[in-house]
Structure formats: structure tokens, C-alpha cells
Chain A
Amino acid sequence: MDIATTQASVDSYIQTQEDKSLLRFITCGSVDDGKSTLIGRLLYESKLLFEDQIAALKADSIRSGTQGDDLDFALLVDGLASEREQGITIDVAYRFFSTKARKFIVIDTPGHEQYTRNMATGASQAQLAVLLVDARLGLSTQTKRHSYIVNALGVKRIVVAINKMDLVNYSQERYEEIIASYREFADKIGVADFTAIPVSALKGDNIIEKSAAMPWYEGDTLIEHLNTVPIGETANAQPFRMHVQWVNRPHLDFRGFSGRVASGQVHVGDKITALPSGKQSRVAKIFTMDGDLDMALPGESVTICLTDEIDVSRGDLLCSSANAPTLSDRFESRLLWMSEEALRPGQSYLMKIGAQTINATISPPKYAIDVNTLAHISAKTLNLNEIGVSIVNIEKPIPFEPYTLNKEMGSFILINRLTNATVAMGLIEKDAQTTSIELRTDELSIDRGLRSEQKNQKPVTLWFTGLKWSGKTFIANALERRLFANGNHSFLLDADTMWKGLSEDLDYVDADRTENSRRVAQVCKLMNDAGLIVQSCFTSAFTSERRISRRIIGDDSFIEIHVNTPLELSEAHDTTGFYKKARRGEILNIAGIDLPYEAPENPDIVVGSQTHSYEEAAQLIFDELVKRGLITKLG
């Protein structure tokens, strides 16, 4: 072939390739709905199969014998040896094909309920979903579950492909009956719009070519629809956000922030804010190896240089100053649990959001969602493949937006700290910032200051933290006797008081610790407002838990006391057989046994059975209170 001609034709060919956009779509439906057959058909018809692959397919088809002499397209798609043996698709697979208009990535996921997590994984990356419905069976609970999941994950474009039309004699009536019932269901879950197409993946009806057997159908074939459906990203219209992945600093004269634009556009000269610091600057340069850009689009990986030297590190967010998101450390979130080990409320997990990984504890679910009926059901935990709504508490406030508003700002994963497994996907629904109850001091004549004066003490919360049986309550009790003798007014709050009263609705075994902790802190705060010195004695094993308490109670009134008795000694003091049960695994979520105890980094006071008797410890704390001017020692 003449080189010049090739050059010209390839140039024009490449030009048309350049104009192609990329559409990622997920296919949902069970094996029986003909999903693999549909994908195999798309690959086959788009002429993307090579001769050796077709030869292998023919040989495989004859061997398996499921389709008589016809090609069994499903064999093309089912990849791993183990799943070919089981006849089910166990994982997420990615297939590629292209048409004259677009390049496609097909995300193929299994349909059974036990693979909800795989489906959600696929849906998190998809721009469009093709839902397969068996025309003979109509809507199944699976169809409903899949619709719910793709909709919850923000997949806005839904194609309902009524498959196996050949098996219902290409009946228009049957087709319309199914569509009507789907429309009713779609309304219920808030799917705004969908496109329905009657097809036969096996026979090829309405896949590429219009079906001669269904003249009554006037809409697009599946491929026509995939080629033309608008996929303009809404991310473009949103305000600019970019998570800083890496600080690029080759030498003293260059300092850039590398990341991929999450949403919105950024132009040179734009005023931007770095969060969480709140420092502002302007975009000096948008650097790429191929030359600087005037502006960058969502999805583009760039390196941004600023006009001012402000402190920005990995995990920070660069955003439009005109429209910066708010910060919070407590989110109401939808969680899909992906691990065999159920959610442990109160346990510390790692949360990866944007380009940062932070500590998080999860409150017990407000409710779980039955994905088949969409009913809200009460739940103490979430098991594998279950979806529920919980409060997620994190160690420090971060910028966020609800998932429905901005996917990259509202999506996160939870990681088990010990196994490093990804255990859940999370979608932020709304802020659930802890607000402390402020007494209306302006309206009430007797305030905290007056009460404090009357009692001749400054009300504080002595927050005892330490392992179970480390001696927290014993020390607090000794201290309380000492305080009482000194004419001070105090109150001792411990597990017994709380769990048998205010928190009796919470489950102790499942350790609804975060919520209990929040209640404890609120009670402490109220009692402080009433002028009392409170001694709160709870394990409070997590830094995040104590940090939340500190914020509710107030920095000035919070004194952290670490009862630093080693585990062996605490176990030796145990007279109830508590640790023995924990060691046998009969009770779970016990700090020091199956949960880590995060010792305070900078406690105000450290005491412990190894170093102090209870009386000595109490005296030490008493002296410290005097030293700080919180109480006055009587004559």
C-alpha cells in the first residue's frame, strides 16, 4: 500500500477517533436474564472479536452444548476458571468495544443478591446502566434491587432492556405491561427517567439493527441509544474542587499541587481557597508537561501553582473561593457493607475520602434498607451486602458535599484497620454536626458563673479513660469522698449509671459506644452547667470518641485522666469473669482484647494501679485541681 495514502486515510481515521467520547456503562441482571449473552453479542457485532477468539468460542460452544449449534456468547464473557465451572459471574469484569461514535467500557457485574457489593462497585464507575429484564418473568426483586442500587449511586441514565422478546412471541402487549410496572416502581424510588427497549440478545433483535419481528417498536436500538445518549458531565457546571494528591516540588523555584479536577473548571487567575486551612490565593499557573493551560476541566490531571506560598499538603482541597464547601466531622451517610465481618459500631475504622485517610467511628445504623422492598428496618449493625444509614464521626472536620450534589466530595470508603480490607462504601447524605446544648445565659438570671461562685468550685468534667477494671471508678470514688470532705459538690457517672438508665435503649454487647459517649458528654456538660464537678468513668478507647466529648463539654472544662493500668493487671483485678468471657470470644468489642485501646497522647493527668494506690491516685488528682485553682483546699 502507498504510504502517503495510508498516512492520509489514517490521519482522517485518527481524527474521527479523536472526536470520540468515552461512555462507561454497567449491565445489571442475573445470569438467567441473558446479560453475558448481551455483552458477547455487542462485542461480536461491533466486530471487535478476532478470528482466534471466535475459533475458541466455537470450540467452547460445542463443548458446553448450551446453545445447540449456535455460538454461546456468554462463554466469551465469563473469564475466570472457577466461575466458568460454577456457571456464574463472581466478579466485576471490564469489556471494551467501540462504534463509529463512541468508545465503550462495559462494566459487567453479577446479579445475585450475595454480589450486591460487586454491583455497587461497578455502578460507582458507571455513567449509564443497562437493566435486563426477562420478558417472560417481568420485574423481579432483582430488577428492583439493581434499580435501587444504580439510582442510589447516582447513575442518572437508565436503559431497561426487556430481553428474550423472542420467547414471548415479540408481544407488544407483554412489553408494555412490563414497562408500566417498571414506571410505577421507578417513581417510587425516585428514578426520574429511563429508556425502555425490547430486545433479544440471543437473536440480535434491536441490538444493532431494528427488529423485523417488532415493527410496533419505533424507538432506537440499544446501540443507537448508546451512541447518542447525551453524557455531558454535570461535574462541569459545579464549582471548582480538586483534592491535592501530591505536592510537586522538584526544586526551590517550583511548588505545584498535583491532582485531578473533581468538579468545575479552574482558570489561571482564579481566586481559590485551600481547605481545611481556609487560606486563600490565586492560580498562578496550570502546569502540564505539554505546556501550561489557561484552564482545566473536570477529570483532568494537572499541577496547579499558586501566587502565594500557602501551606497545602496531600489530602487538602483546593476549591473556588466564591463557592467553598463547608466542613464537618459528623456525617449522616448511606453505607453499603462489603465485608464478611459485620459493622462494629464504635470501632475505629479508616475512612478514605478524596486524597486523605482519617480515623472514623460509625454509630449504630439509624435504619437498614431492605433493598427488595425498600422498607426501612431497624438494625444494630450492617452485614455483608446490607445497606443502611448511619452517622460517621471522624477525627477532624473536613470539607464535604452531599453525594447527590458532588460525587467526588461525598463518596468515601471504610477500611478495617487490622486487616486493611475495604469494608464499606459510603455516600454522604448530610451534615450531622454535633452541636452542644447552650444554656440561654442571656435569658436566665442564674448562670454557670453564679453557681460556681456559690459552690466555691469551678465546675469541670474529670474524664477518666482506661481499660475495663483499670480502676477508674475506684479512683473516682476515692476522689469523690475526698471532694465531699472538702465541701465540694461532685457527681460520679459510670457505665452502670448510664447503661441502666439513659442508655438502656442502646445495646451494650454490640457496643453502641459512640452514641453512649455522646450522651455521657451531654450529661457532663449539663451537670457542669449546674455547677457540679463530674467524674466520668468510661473506657472511651478511641481518640475520636474523647475528642467529640471534649468538644461537647468544652476545652476549658475537660480534664483528661488516663488510668494507665496495664491489661494484665486489669485482668487480674477483674472479679466478674468479664475478661475471661472476652478472651473466649463470648463478648465482643472489648478494648485490649479484640479492639485496640488508643491511649491519650497528652492526658492532663496519668495514674495507674501499677504506680498508685486508689487513695494515692485520688490525692494526686485532688492536688492538681487545687493547683489549677478549680477548688480551694479547706483549712
Chain B
Amino acid sequence: MRTLTHLQVLESESMHIMREVMAEAENPVMLYSVGKDSAVMLHLARKAFSPTKIPFPLLHVDTTFKFREMIAFREKMRKDLDLNIIVHTNPDGVEQNMNPWDFGSDVYTDVMKTQGLKQALDMHGFDAAFGGARRDEEKSRAKERVFSFRTRSHQWDPKNQRPELWSLYNARKHQGESIRVFPLSNWTEFDIWQYIYQENIPIVPLYFAAERPVVERNGVLIMVDDDRLPLLPGETPMMKRIRFRTLGCYPLTGAQESDAVTLPQIIQETMIAKVSERQGRVIDHDQSASMEKKKREGYF
């Protein structure tokens, strides 16, 4: 007799969550970061509403420092799947020529990512936003609800979250409040890769190893994606065979040396990985409990 595998259980759960939001929210949006989790979330959204086209727009908050290949991939997906993708960049940040080295990664991330996101949500009046965060990523995320409520100013109050019972989601909110919804809450990094492989989901080529120009800073390999990255005295970009485990802003994303050029090889590497995924993100190291703090302020 047919039984459901764990990925089928997770898939059906995510589809159930998306349909609930679609039915109860007035103006939902899906945050599309172009990364692998977004790729899975997008795929699940297509499944949840098929044969209807995804009945809400996607939103990409472009910080101006995303990898060029991410932007190219986004445009390819837009074309291939006929997606409605809204791209927003914080105009104040552009005006100030915001970048991670002159302003620091904290200020840069806050202005371009957190503020940029709030602007876009407010501008379009979105009352529910899907995000690709997973509970296995980081300790403070282990307690995040599937439906996470934000005040009018997009604040998150970890002590005042609604209990989530069975799969009965309470999506009610007051005017001006919004919900962040995480349909991938119960997926692990490994589940994501396995699902991408099984479902043949397209992902940004940066996840596969290739010769790319990098510099090494504090033990982290940073890709020199364009000529905006200021080189320190004595620093020369060198070609290394690298790939990325997570994607974000190129000056803030660590690469790893790798020979994995196929999905099976990536899965192989993930299986024997010795460091956690978020290690590659520079911002998590800033301070203890930093993710919780950022989330309270409205970072996704």
C-alpha cells in the first residue's frame, strides 16, 4: 500500500499552510530571496495552487550587493515561470551609497534588508508575507511559530506569540498588523537538498563548485563578484574552486572550497558537513543572541 514519505508529509504540510494564508489574508506576498529555500518555497506554492498560477506576487528585496548570478537567475525564473516578481531597493540607502565596509555590516543590513523589507511591505500594503526560514537553522528560530505576528511597526515579541494547536492556524489580525508565515518551518537543510534533487528544482549555479575569484578575510572566503569590493593592502583576488551553502549579499557571504558540481555531490558534502549552514553568514557572529535581536527589530 502507498504510504507517505517524510518529504511528502512535509510537502503536504507546507501546501496546507500556504492555502490557509491564501484563504484568510487579504494581500499576501512571498518573499523571494532567490536562494535554495526560496526555490523550494516557490515550487511548493506552484503545487499548492496548481492549475491556478501562484495567486500572489513575489517580493525580492534587492540590497544592491546580491551576487550577479542571483539577479540573472531571478530574471530567468521570472521569464520561465511567468512570475510576478516585485523588486524593491531602499532608495534612502542608495542615496547614501550604503555598503557594508563604510557603514559596517550591521547598519548596512538594517538599512538595505530590514528597512527595505518594511518599506516594501508598507508600500504595497501586504498583510501576510511568506518567508523561507527553517527551525533547524538557528536556536532562536527553533521557537518561531509558523504564523508569526508583527505589530504595525513590524516588531516581533517572542513572549507574546499565539499558541499553535494542531494545524488550526489563527490568522486574524488588526488593521495594519501583518503576519510572517514560514511554510518550511519543519524542514531541515538536508530535507531541502533532498527535495531539490527529487523534484529537479532549478537553483542558482553559485551552489555548485566553480573557479571563482575570492579573497580570504578572517578565515572567510569572500567572492569578488564585482569591482566595488575594496581590496585591502596586499590583497589580490585569487581563483579558487568554491561554492556557496547559503546565498545573500556577496561581501557578507562566506564561500567554501568544494569540488561538488552536481546535486548528489552537494548532498554528499552536506551529509558529512562539519560546520552548520549559518556559519557562512557573517551577521550571525556579531553578538550572542544576535538573531533574536534582529528578529525583534523586524529582520526576517
Contact = CB atoms under 8 A, between A and B. Distances in A.
B170 A288 contact: no
B113 to A, nearest CB: 22
Given A11-B264, A338-B163, A413-B168, A52 B275 contact: yes
A238 interface: no
A267 B194 CA distance: 29
B159 interface: yes
B97 interface: no
Interface string B157-187: 0110111111110101110000000000110
A54 to B, nearest CB: 10
Contacts of B185: 94
A446 B188 CA distance: 74
A95 interface: yes
B15 interface: yes
B173 A420 contact: yes
A121 B273 CA distance: 33
A254 B49 CA distance: 12
Interface string B189-215: 011001001100000000000000000
A265 B51 CA distance: 23
Interface stretch (A12-20, A188-196, A202-210, A589-597): A12-20
Nearest to B267: A10
Nearest to A103: B6
A10 B264 contact: yes
- Interface size class of chain B, counting residues whose CB lies under 8 Å from the partner chain: 35 or more
A117 B19 contact: no
A258 interface: yes
A261 B6 CA distance: 16
Nearest to B134: A96
A421 B143 CA distance: 18
Name the residue in B136, B185, B271 with the highest tally of chain A Cβ atoms < 10 Å from its Cβ: B136
A609 B136 CA distance: 63
Nearest to B276: A50
A259 B198 CA distance: 23
Nearest to A336: B165
Contacts of B53: 250
Contacts of B87: none
B158 A52 contact: no
Interface string A1-28: 1010011011101100111111000000
B16 interface: yes
B267 to A, nearest CB: 5
A258 B48 contact: yes
A91 interface: yes
Contact of B168 (A17, A93, A412): A412
B79 interface: no
Given A6-B268, A412-B168, A289 B163 contact: no
Interface in A300-326: 300-301, 303, 314
A254 B20 contact: no
B256 to A, nearest CB: 13
Contacts of B143: 79-80, 91-94
Which 6 A-B residue pairings sit nearest by Cβ, starting from the closest? A10-B264, A22-B6, A289-B50, A79-B139, A301-B15, A81-B289
Interface of B: 2-13, 15-16, 19-20, 22-23, 46-53, 135-136, 139-140, 142-143, 158-159, 161-168, 170, 172-174, 185-186, 188, 190-191, 194, 197-198, 259, 261-262, 264-265, 267-268, 271, 273-276, 279, 288-289, 292
Given A246-B19, A259-B16, 6 more contacts: A13-B267, A118-B163, A258-B49, A295-B2, A303-B50, A422-B170
